[in-house]
C-alpha cells in the first residue's frame, strides 16, 4: 500500500504555518532580550515566564492543527526539560492526550488495502470507535473469526508523507536559527527525530520488540506483554492480543479491585530497572495510556512497543561508574562517567560537566539528608537537572540518555498519580549494582 502523497498546496501551507509560528516566537524572544539588556526591568523573570507560556501555547495550537511530525516532535520536546524552559514542558506535555481520531472509513480503507481483502473477511467484529488515538496511528478493538479478541493498531495513511515534509521544513528552519544564533544548535534534535520516528512507522519492528521483551520478561508472573497475531500484522497494521485491565492511574478503581497502589509502583520500577539495567532494551513511552493493571496478581500490562530503545553495550558500566561517583561524592569521577555515557560540550572541555556533576552531588546530599527517595525526588531530579543543563553549554546528550530522562519523568508522574510513598532507592540499587541482574542478557536485535 502506497502512502498518500501531499499536494504542493498542502506542503506550502504546512511550511508557512511552521515558519510563521516559530518566526513570531523568535522575534518576541529577541525583543525580550533587548528589553532585558537595555532596560533591565525588575519584573523581567515574570515577563520571560509569560512569553514562554504564550509561545508554548502557539506551538501547541500549531501541533494540534498540523499533526504529523510537528505533533510528534512537540510531544518529544514536552519531555525535554534540558532544552526547554518549564513553561514549554508543561504546555507541550498536554499533547499526549490531544490527538483527534480519524474517521472509520479511513481506517477501513487502510486495513483493506494492507490485507488486500474486505475487512469482514478477516474480522467477525471491528469497533468503529477507536480505543485510543495517537500521533501516528489509532487502535480499535476487534474479534477474529476464530473468536480471539484483538486490538488492531492502524497507521494513518498520510503520515509518512507528513513526516518527510515536516522533517524537511524543520531542517530548513533550524538551519536558519543556527545561522542567526551561533550558540544554538538545534540540528541534533532533528537527527534524533529522524532516527526514532521512522522506526515507529514500521509496525513489524514494533511487533518484534514486543515479542522479544515478552520472552525476556517471561520469568515474571507480574508482567504481561500482548501476544502478536502475525498472520494479520503488516508494516502499517498491527494485530495483537486484546488485554483488559485498569488504567494504572485510576487509583479508585485499583483500590476497589483490592490492588495496593504501592505494590503497583514496585512492580513498575522493578520492571523498568530490569529492562534497562539487565536486558539493555526498554519501553521508552510508559505514559499512563500504555500501562494497565490486572487485579489478579496484580499484573502490569505493557502496551505499545513502538518507541523502544536498545542501549549501548557499555551503558551499564557507565551507570555503575556514575552511581559509585554519586555515592562517593566524587565530582571528577562523575565527569568521567558523563563522558563515558556520551555527553559532550561545545568547546570540548569538561568544565560545564563539572558544574552539572556538582549539581548532582548537591541534589543527592539533599535526598540523603531528608530521606527523600520517593517518586517526587526522581521527578524533581529530572526537572532540576534539565534546568542545570540549559545553563551550561552541553551540546550533545546521547539519545538513549534523553529517552531515559523521558522514561524517568513519565514513571515519576505515574508514581505521583498513585500517591506512592514507596522508598525507591532500595528497589533501584540492587539492579544498579548487580543483585537484580539475574536474568540473561538480551540477545542481539
Count of beta carbons in the 10 Å neighbourhood of residue 75: 22
Q: Is 285 a catalytic residue?
A: yes
Q: Give 143's strand partners.
A: 125, 149
- 280 closest CA partner among 315, 306, 304: 315
pLDDT single digits (tens) 400-417: 777 787 787 777 778 777
Beta strands (DSSP E) in 228-381 are 237-241, 246-247, 281-283, 291-294, 299-302, 308-310, 344-345
pLDDT single digits (tens) 161-213: 888 788 887 778 777 766 766 555 566 667 777 777 777 889 999 999 999 99
Judged against a pLDDT cut of 90, whether residue 148 lies above it is answered with yes
For every residue of 125-183, which 3-state class applies, written as one string?
A: EECCCCCEECCCEEEEEEEECCCCEEEEEEECCCHHHHHHHHHHHHHHHHHHHHHHCCC
Of residues 441 and 421, more confidently modeled: 421
List CB contacts of 413: < 8 A, sequence separation 6 or more: 288, 379
pLDDT single digits (tens) 210-268: 999 999 999 999 999 999 999 999 999 999 999 999 999 899 999 999 999 999 999 99
Q: What is residue 277's predicted lDDT score, i.e. its pLDDT?
A: 87
As a whole number, mean pLDDT of residues 366-389 equals: 58
Single out the catalytic residue among 285, 304, 383, 423.
285
Q: What is residue 47's predicted lDDT score, i.e. its pLDDT?
A: 93
Of residues 237 and 38, more confidently modeled: 237
Burial of 438 (0-12, 13-18, 19+ CB in 10 A): exposed
Look at 18-27, 89-98, 310-319 and tell me which has the smallest mean pLDDT: 89-98
Q: Name the band, by pLDDT with cuts 50, 70 and 90, for residue 81.
A: low
Structural contact between residues 155 and 203, judged by C-beta atoms closer than 8 angstroms:
yes
| DSSP label of 228 | B
Q: What is residue 441's predicted lDDT score, i.e. its pLDDT?
A: 42
Q: How many residues does this entry show for the chain?
A: 445
Judged against a pLDDT cut of 90, whether residue 380 lies above it is answered with no
Of residues 301 and 348, more confidently modeled: 301
Amino acid at each position: 500500500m502506497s502512502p498518500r502523497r501531499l499536494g504542493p498546496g498542502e506542503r506550502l501551507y504546512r511550511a508557512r504555518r511552521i515558519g510563521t509560528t516559530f518566526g513570531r516566537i523568535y522575534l518576541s524572544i529577541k525583543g525580550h532580550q533587548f528589553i532585558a539588556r537595555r532596560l533591565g526591568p525588575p519584573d523581567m523573570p515574570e515577563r520571560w515566564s509569560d512569553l514562554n507560556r504564550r509561545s508554548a501555547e502557539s506551538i501547541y495550537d500549531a501541533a494540534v492543527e498540523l499533526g504529523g511530525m510537528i505533533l510528534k516532535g512537540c510531544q518529544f520536546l514536552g519531555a525535554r526539560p534540558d532544552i526547554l524552559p518549564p513553561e514549554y514542558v508543561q504546555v507541550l506535555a498536554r499533547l499526549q492526550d490531544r490527538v483527534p481520531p480519524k474517521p472509520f472509513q479511513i481506517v477501513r480503507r487502510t486495513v483493506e488495502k494492507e490485507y488486500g481483502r474486505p475487512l469482514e473477511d478477516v474480522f467477525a467484529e471491528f469497533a468503529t470507535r477507536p480505543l485510543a488515538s495517537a500521533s501516528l496511528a489509532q487502535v480499535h478493538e476487534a474479534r477474529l473469526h476464530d473468536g480471539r479478541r484483538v486490538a488492531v493498531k492502524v497507521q494513518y495513511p498520510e503520515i509518512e508523507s507528513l513526516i518527510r515534509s515536516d522533517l524537511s521544513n524543520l531542517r530548513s528552519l533550524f538551519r536558519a536559527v543556527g545561522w542567526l544564533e551561533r550558540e544554538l544548535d538545534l540540528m541534533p534534535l532533528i537527527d534524533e527525530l529522524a532516527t526514532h520516528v521512522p522506526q515507529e512507522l514500521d509496525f513489524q519492528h514494533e511487533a518484534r520488540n514486543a515479542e522479544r521483551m515478552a520472552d525476556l520478561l517471561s520469568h515474571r508472573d507480574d508482567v504481561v506483554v500482548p501476544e502478536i497475531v502475525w498472520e494479520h500484522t503488516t508494516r502499517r497494521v498491527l494485530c495483537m492480543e486484546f488485554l483488559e485491565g485498569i488504567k494504572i492511574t485510576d487509583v479508585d478503581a485499583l483500590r476497589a479491585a483490592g490492588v495496593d497502589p504501592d505494590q503497583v509502583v514496585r512492580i513498575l520500577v522493578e520492571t523498568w530497572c530490569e529492562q534497562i539495567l539487565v536486558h539493555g532494551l526498554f519501553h521508552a513511552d510508559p505514559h499512563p495510556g500504555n500501562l494497565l493493571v490486572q487485579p489478579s496478581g496484580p499484573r502490569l500490562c505493557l502496551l505499545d512497543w513502538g518507541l523502544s530503545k536498545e542501549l549501548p553495550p557499555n551503558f551499564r558500566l557507565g551507570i555503575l561508574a556514575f552511581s559509585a561517583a554519586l555515592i562517593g561524592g566524587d565530582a571528577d569521577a562523575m565527569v568521567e562517567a558523563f563522558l563515558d555515557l556520551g555527553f559532550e560540550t561545545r568547546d570540548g572541555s569538561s568544565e560545564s560537566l563539572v558544574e552539572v556533576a556538582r549539581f548532582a552531588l548537591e541534589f543527592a546530599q539533599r535526598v540523603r539528608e531528608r530521606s527523600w527517595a520517593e517518586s517526587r525526588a526522581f521527578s524533581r531530579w529530572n526537572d532540576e537537572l534539565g534546568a542545570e543543563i540549559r545553563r551550561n553549554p552541553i551540546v550533545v546528550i546521547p539519545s538513549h540518555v534523553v529517552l531515559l530522562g523521558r522514561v524517568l519523568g513519565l514513571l515519576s508522574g505515574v508514581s505521583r498519580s498513585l500517591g506512592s510513598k514507596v522508598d525507591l532507592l532500595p528497589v533501584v540499587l540492587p539492579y544498579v549494582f548487580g543483585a537484580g541482574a539475574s536474568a540473561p542478557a538480551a540477545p542481539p536485535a
